[in-house]
Amino acid sequence: MPNPVFEFLDGRSYTLNEISGQFRHETRRAIYPYPRTIEKLTFQPDEKGQATEEYRQTRRELKDDWTTDLTDAIDTYCDIAIELGFNDSGVE
């Protein structure tokens, strides 16, 4: 069953740690070592976010562009979803 919070956040714009961007929800099906569905929630900085000093500093440290994986950050993504209008029934 798909994660309703991931689906709600998918494509929404947000500013995370002073960096603007969008959430992306990705679903993959795996068959090895057993059949399962894997879901992932990431935050991808947009052009404006990539222009911030915070983003550029991290990029210098990593020596590459980057995204933030929020898949296991339950408290963080739930707080953001509530802030953006998600409620227990999943209706905006």
Q: What pLDDT is attached to residue 89?
A: 62
Residue 29, both tokens:
């099906």
Q: What pLDDT is attached to residue 1?
A: 77
Q: What pLDDT is attached to residue 2?
A: 86
pLDDT tens sequence across 24-70: 999 999 999 999 999 999 999 999 999 999 999 999 999 999 999 99
Q: What pLDDT is attached to residue 85?
A: 94
| Residue 90 reports pLDDT greater than 50 | no
